């Protein structure tokens, strides 16, 4: 249902994601800097649309962890999925 979120999760947030960058948002920066501008914008737009649909935290966890298959769960660091997705969208729009 969210192909760009799934692409990020499966390609960048695999079991060894912590080898990609020092922080999870650093992994998002690696994505931003390495993928085409169209792919980066498509992911950002998908995240924004998801957040605007006002899903529950449980639904966001299901989408990020179960459907997309991410190995990183921000809740272990005290960050909600909503805040994590918001932070990812902001990182995707930041200058390289």
Q: Report the alpha-carbon distance of residue 26 to residue 30 in Å, rounded.
A: 6
Percent of the chain with pLDDT over 70: 99
pLDDT tens-digit readout, 48-66: 999 999 999 999 999 999 9
Tokens linked to 34: 């390495």
Contact present, 32 and 92 (Cβ < 8 Å): yes
pTM to 2 decimal places: 0.92
Average pLDDT (3-7) is 98
What whole-number distance in Å separates Cα of residue 69 and Cα of residue 90?
22
Structure tokens at 30: 């690696």
Give the model confidence (pLDDT) of 24-53 as tens digits: 999 999 999 999 999 999 999 999 999 999
**Mean pLDDT computed over 62-73:** 97
Query: Dihedral of CA 50/59/84/32: which sign?
Result: negative
């Amino acid at each position: 249902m969210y192909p760009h979120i799934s692409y990020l999760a499966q390609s960048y947030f695999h079991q060894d994601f912590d080898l990609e960058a020092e922080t999870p948002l650093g992994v998002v920066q690696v994505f931003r800097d390495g993928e085409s501008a169209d792919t980066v914008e498509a992911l950002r737009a998908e995240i924004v649309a998801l957040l605007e649909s006002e899903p529950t935290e449980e639904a966001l966890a299901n989408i990020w962890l179960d459907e997309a298959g991410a190995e990183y769960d921000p809740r272990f660091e005290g960050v909600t999925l909503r805040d994590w997705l918001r932070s990812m969208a902001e990182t995707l729009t930041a200058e390289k």
